[in-house]
Amino acid sequence: MKRIDNDSFYDFIKKYDPDSKYYLVGEVDYYLLSDDRPYEGMKSHKEALHFVFEWLEEQSIENKESARMMFGDDISERMRPLVYDIDRAQPSPLDREEFFYCPNIVKTDYYGNVRYDAEWVPNDENFGTTVPYWYAVMEPVHGRRNKPEDFKKVNEVLFPNGTDALDIFEWTTDWSDFFADGHEWYGACCWSVYDRTLSRYVVMLVSATD
pLDDT at 95 over 80: yes
The model's pLDDT over 132-154, given as tens digits with 9 standing for 90+, comes to: 999 999 999 987 789 999 999 99
Q: At 128, which amino acid appears?
A: G
* Contact indicator for 176, 84 with CB cutoff of 8 Å: yes
Question: How far, rounded to the nearest angstrom, does the alpha carbon of residue 93 sit from its chain's CA centroid?
Answer: 17
The total number of structural domains in the chain stands at 1
Nearest to 163 by CA among 75, 78, 98: 98
Q: Which domain holds residue 186?
A: 2-208
The model's pLDDT over 46-78, given as tens digits with 9 standing for 90+, comes to: 999 999 999 999 886 665 455 445 544 444 445
The count of other CB atoms within 10 Å of the CB of residue 69 is: 8
pLDDT of residue 62: 63
**DSSP-based three-state secondary structure for 169:** strand
Q: b/e per residue, 172-203, with b = 16+ CB within 10 A?
A: ebebbebbebbbeebbbbbbbbbbeebebbbb
Measuring CA to CA, how many Å separate 43 from each of 69, 99, 157, 173? 40, 21, 26, 18
pLDDT of residue 60: 67
